[in-house]
């Protein structure tokens, strides 16, 4: 399992989440990229693993309304488009391909 991050910062103004995994490993994730990658059963077929969320339905300006820790397991994000079903595990976030180094 991925390590628990040292720090998490939500920046609504620029629609990003910065996760510092270690002193030399900080990553900036774009809100829309994370929203489009939501792992919940409403966005991914539970039986086949096929993504059912159409990215065209996700607003370009989607932002994080709130983010809360789910134990030492991951992060639950509530989005400005009303979606709040997914738990982004540390493993998912640490392996997420779309990020910039901070």
pLDDT tens-digit series, residues 34-43: 999 999 999 9
What does the domain layout of the chain look like in residue ranges?
7-101
Cβ atoms of 16 and 31 closer than 8 Å: yes
Say what percent of the chain tops pLDDT 70. Answer: 98
Residue with the two structure tokens 């039986």? 47
- CB neighbour list of residue 9: distance below 8 Å, 6 or more residues apart: 17, 18
> Which pLDDT band, with edges at 50, 70 and 90, does 1 fall under?
very low
Lookup: tokens for 80: 């400005």
pTM for the predicted model, two decimal places: 0.90
* Digit-coded pLDDT (tens) for 54-102: 999 999 999 999 999 999 999 999 999 999 989 999 999 998 877 888 7
pLDDT over threshold 80, residue 2: no
Q: Which two tokens stand for residue 51?
A: 């993504």
Report the CATH fold assignment for 7-101: NE0471 N-terminal domain-like (3.30.2020)
- CA–CA separation, 20 vs 9, rounded Å? 9
């Amino acid at each position: 399992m991925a390590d628990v991050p040292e720090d998490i910062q939500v920046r609504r103004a620029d629609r990003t989440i910065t996760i510092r995994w270690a002193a030399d490993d900080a990553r900036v994730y774009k809100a829309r990229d994370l929203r489009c990658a939501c792992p919940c059963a409403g966005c991914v077929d539970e039986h086949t693993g096929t993504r059912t969320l159409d990215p065209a339905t996700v607003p370009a300006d989607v932002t994080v309304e709130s983010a809360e820790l789910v134990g030492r397991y991951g992060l639950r994000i509530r989005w400005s488009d009303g979606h709040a079903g997914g738990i982004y595990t540390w493993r998912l976030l640490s392996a997420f391909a779309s990020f910039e180094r901070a």
